[in-house]
Amino acid sequence: MRVEGTAKLAGKPAALFDRLLDPDTLRSCIKGCESFDVDPDADPDARAYVATVKVGVGAVKGRFRTTVALSGIEPPVRYTMNISAKSPVGRANGTAVVQLEEREGETHLAWETDVRVSGVIAAVGQRLLGAAAKRFAGQFFEQLQATVGSGGDGSP
């Protein structure tokens, strides 16, 4: 399943890029996030995280143990996330590419995912899953903007 979207954020890409890689910022911006930490089992030089996120899509709800490994990091322009999530209601595996570009003093962020889901959560249907993913991303970017403020440099 492919899902993509965009967001306009106040602030410069460099400041926002750093915040998008910060576990504390991510923990506070991801709805249903119970934990988001550097992966203790990963190579110390790798950008890898483990998270627990409680998610519901329609009547299907679950607590997902998620691993995220970053690659292709080109500050402050882009990075790729390799994501694996599992719970009793299913699994999700895929990639997400995030790109930032400064336009007229704002950051335009474009994201694109390619995710495969299985289990009970896949029974919800791709149409509902796609809409839920876009809503989830929209909530994330609203919270990110509230967290980083609108001071123009991306700082609170």
Q: Which CATH number covers residue 68?
A: 3.30.530.20
Total number of domains in the chain: 1
- For residue 154, is it within any domain? no
- For residue 92, is it within any domain? yes
Tell me what the mean pLDDT of segment 94-107 comes to: 95
Instruction: pLDDT band for 128, please (50, 70, 90 cuts).
Output: confident
Residue 155: per-residue pLDDT: 45
The 3 state secondary structure assigned to the chain is CEEEEEEEEECCHHHHHHHHCCHHHHHHHCCCEEEEEECCCCCCCCCEEEEEEEEEECCEEEEEEEEEEEEEEECCCEEEEEEEEEECCEEEEEEEEEEEEEECCEEEEEEEEEEEEECHHHHHCHHHHHHHHHHHHHHHHHHHHHHHCCCCCCCC
- For residue 135, is it within any domain? yes
Residue 95: per-residue pLDDT: 97
pLDDT tens figures, 33-83: 999 999 999 887 889 999 999 988 877 889 999 999 999 999 999 999 999
Q: Would the pLDDT of 151 be above 60?
A: no
Residue 50: per-residue pLDDT: 96
- For residue 79, is it within any domain? yes
Q: Which residue has the higher pLDDT, 33 or 120?
A: 33
Residues β-bridged to residue 113: 3, 96
- For residue 156, is it within any domain? no
- For residue 52, is it within any domain? yes
> What's the pTM value of the predicted model, to 2 decimals?
0.85
- For residue 155, is it within any domain? no
- For residue 152, is it within any domain? no
Residue 153: per-residue pLDDT: 44
Domain of 41 in residue numbering reads as: 2-146
